[in-house]
Amino acid sequence: MITSKLTSKAQTTIPQPVREALRLRPGDDVAYHIEAPGRVVLMRAHPHDDDPFATFLEWGGDEDRRAYAGL
């Protein structure tokens, strides 16, 4: 089990193995899902911006961005 401490300001560092497993980079958002009392799931959050293709991850490649850039 991987653990980390909570600071007096309610902050913690996400341990490196967890960051690697979620492919997190500085500036990424994380999401929390409360499953039950005492159990929370941490996951990588998908940004919600004005990108019309943000919902359709399969359309998020470089070729698609170039093809639809002028629309």
* CB atoms closer than 10 angstroms to residue 24: 17
Which letter does DSSP use for residue 8 in this model?
T
Q: Are 53 and 64 in contact (CB under 8 A)?
A: yes
Q: Global pTM?
A: 0.61
What is the model's pLDDT at position 49?
Answer: 58
pLDDT band at 62 (very low <50, low <70, confident <90, very high): confident
Q: Over the stretch 12-61, which tens digit does the pLDDT of each residue have?
A: 999 999 999 999 999 899 999 999 999 999 999 876 656 665 666 666 67
Tokens for 2, please give them. 């991987």
CB 27 within 8 Å of CB 12: no
Alpha-carbon distance 32 to 30, whole Å? Answer: 7
pLDDT of residue 52: 63
The CATH number corresponding to 16-68 among 2.40.160, 3.30.70, 2.10.260, 3.30.1370 equals 2.10.260
